Structure 1
Amino acid sequence: MNITIGKPWAVCEKGGRQNNEDSIYPLPEMVNSNQKLFLVCDGVGGSEKGEIASSLACESFQTFFSTFLDDEPSEEFINKAIRYTEARFDDYVNTHPEAKGMATTLTMVSVGTSGVTLAHVGDSRIYQFRQGEILYQTEDHSLVNSLVKLGKITKEEASTHPQKNVIVRAIQSTEHPTEADVILLKDIQAGDYFFMCTDGVLERLKNEDLSYIFSTHNNPEDIKDAIMASCCGKTRDNFSFYILPVQNVGESIGIKQNILSFLYSFI
């Protein structure tokens, strides 16, 4: 499968907070359509250096992938990247003890030849949209989502629950190891969008709002502007997101097939 991504659009804003604990990779000014790895992280901890945690997670994942990835990232490989990131957190806290307790959510999209691999930890989300319809959505690792699954509260009650920002899984340290939920999506079509975001976006936009935006705007820049209009100056939290438009999906042709095709052209 040969998946071509159009120009990605990204935003990383501090919103209503004094500092920005969100981080994304790559930075908007560095991204291009050849990029295969995308990360959006939301630092946890406030005074415990959440902004360091999210930034270090992006840096560590990028380093691990660029150093060790040979093929498609498996669930095992991604969780090894988490182990590496947790060790990096330990190193930082050893020299900066005031950062003890820092943690971060993580969402990851990796575009490969078998499909698109998604991974997430925490309550930052990844969506796959097709003509505005949500084909896939990650499931939050949060207290309120656990309560919804147990039937203790409704989805409507979860949106206003006083503990709605409490997460039950985060990247933190080797003393508190965690794992990502990982899935490989193979149903990919030209015109699909992958959307990664922190919960600051979800503070303003529910699923039906996002579906409306993705169904009524014809290009990713307009989608970005519509989300910005909903969030800018209106959120209490930081808000960050990546919009990844699928431009084309074709069959991959191996090197041997290319050589044979070239030779046959002379027969």
Structure 2
Amino acid sequence: MNDFAGKSSETRGQSDPEATADLPTPAPLTVHSSGMKLLVGVVSTVGRYREHNEDNYFVPGRKSVRFDAPSPPEGSGETVLSSLDPSSNVLFIVADGMGGQQAGEQASKMAVELIPRAVSRRLGAEESDPKVVQGLIRDSVADANQEILGCSGAVAEFSNMGTTVVLALFQNDRVFVAGIGDSRAYRLRGGQFDQLTEDHSLADALSRAGTITKEEVANHKFKNVLYLYLGSKDARGGPEEVRVLDVLPGDRFLLATDGLTGVVQDEELARVLQSCDDPQKAARVLIDQALANDSKDNITSLVIHVVSGTERATG
């Protein structure tokens, strides 16, 4: 059984004049397993400086609820707490569109719609060979890249559009993590907080080459200039790396755009993840912290808690 059946569609917050807020919010999805389950919370907002939210995300069985107000009112249509069974191949995606307004929004929307479909087509219910799964993730992202490139070339208003993408595919007691661009994935395990993906900005490339120090990256003029993203010919092979990690109860994961990670230090990200036992609350607190730090971008925070199958959601 593949857990990609819920099609990714999009709902905006009530402050958007084109809102479809009358659409019902689905009841929390709860699928229990005898081993582990995933508790998920997510918030996406336009922030204080942009006119449109060009971020998008994919959570199985959920609508992508994105807000065109800096801080969504409590309970105003956010993606509510979900509980998912990792034995069923559970995919999460966060994407940050580029190209300005309609173009960036279209690119990120295509990413969160096309990648789940492509993975679902390729991933058999019994497929467990890690190398096979890594390959099908690369191929699925490469397919989305080709579609975005084609749309960019065919539709004038989408010219030069692109998007970052970061994804996590949970399969039983392991997770496959990949990213293109500068949206990031992290894991908190006990007191250890690790960035699982690599940024593909020119500043980070200079740092890896030893031209500048790691400390200089944050304020470098090329920090936000990406050399690899969906919608570029260089991404035609998909992610450069698909990491395979073990998963244990107690692990906490974060997928986020640089509207969050670019302004909130890793130490603070870890503190919030550690202190909030409700992933939806953690996602909101992280958004609020990014706004307090004067983030000038759209902000998306997707938090995943791995718990034992006997634990229950609290949100």
TM-score class, shorter? 0.7 to 0.9
> Counterparts of 1:149 and 1:94 in 2: how far apart (Å)?
32
**Contact 2:180/2:229 (8 A) holds in 1:** yes
Instruction: Pick from 141, 145, 162 the counterpart of residue 86 of structure 1.
Output: 145
1:204 deviates by 2.0
Question: Paired residue for 1:65?
Answer: 119
Residue identity over aligned pairs, in percent, reads 27
1:71-108 deviation per Cα after TM superposition (whole angstroms, max 9, x unaligned) = 25622211211232133224433541231211111111
- Unpaired runs of 5+ in structure 2? 1-32, 65-77, 311-315
Q: Residues 179, 66 of structure 1: CA spacing in aligned structure 2 closer, same or farther, 3 A cutoff?
A: closer
1:100-141 deviation per Cα after TM superposition (whole angstroms, max 9, x unaligned) = 211111111111025111111111100010134214521111
Question: Paired residue for 1:130?
Answer: 189
Instruction: Pick from 46, 59, 62 the counterpart of residue 14 of structure 1.
Output: 46
Higher fraction of helix: 1
Instruction: Pick from 52, 70, 73 the counterpart of residue 106 of structure 2.
Output: 52
Q: Which has the higher contact order (CA 8 A, sep 6+)?
A: 1
Question: Paired residue for 1:145?
Answer: 204
Structure 2 counterpart of 1:103, which letter? Answer: G
Farther off after superposition, 216-225 or 140-149: 216-225
Structure 1 counterpart of 2:82, which letter? Answer: N
**Contact 1:21/1:43 (8 A) holds in 2:** yes
Counterpart check, 1:238 vs 2:271: no
* 1:248-263 correspondence runs (5 A): 248=308
1:175 deviates by 8.1
* 1:1-267 correspondence runs (5 A): 4-15=36-47, 16-26=49-59, 27=64, 29=79, 32-34=82-84, 36-46=90-100, 49-70=103-124, 71-72=127-128, 74-93=133-152, 95-113=154-172, 115-172=174-231, 177-180=236-239, 181-186=241-246, 188-232=247-291, 234-248=294-308
Question: Paired residue for 1:262?
Answer: none
1:131-170 deviation per Cα after TM superposition (whole angstroms, max 9, x unaligned) = 3421452111111111111222222211111221011111
Q: Residues 215, 7 of structure 1: CA spacing in aligned structure 2 closer, same or farther, 3 A cutoff?
A: closer
3-state DSSP of counterpart to 1:9: strand
> Counterparts of 2:80 and 2:276 in 1: how far apart (Å)?
25
> Counterparts of 1:3 and 1:166 in 2: how far apart (Å)?
42
**Contact 1:132/1:213 (8 A) holds in 2:** no
Farther off after superposition, 115-124 or 203-212: 203-212
Structure 2 counterpart of 1:34, which letter? Answer: L
Question: Paired residue for 1:254?
Answer: none
- Unpaired runs of 5+ in structure 1? 251-267
Number of equivalenced pairs: 249
Runs (4+) of structure 1 exceeding 6 A deviation are none
1:191-222 deviation per Cα after TM superposition (whole angstroms, max 9, x unaligned) = 11010001000122111111222233333233
**Contact 1:125/1:138 (8 A) holds in 2:** yes
Question: Paired residue for 2:10?
Answer: none
Q: Residues 229, 86 of structure 1: CA spacing in aligned structure 2 closer, same or farther, 3 A cutoff?
A: closer
**Contact 1:3/1:112 (8 A) holds in 2:** no
> Counterparts of 1:199 and 1:107 in 2: how far apart (Å)?
11
**Contact 2:139/2:238 (8 A) holds in 1:** no
| RMSD (Å), alpha carbons | 2.5
Q: Residues 178, 17 of structure 1: CA spacing in aligned structure 2 closer, same or farther, 3 A cutoff?
A: farther
> Counterparts of 2:38 and 2:121 in 1: how far apart (Å)?
25
Larger radius of gyration: 1
1:230 deviates by 0.7
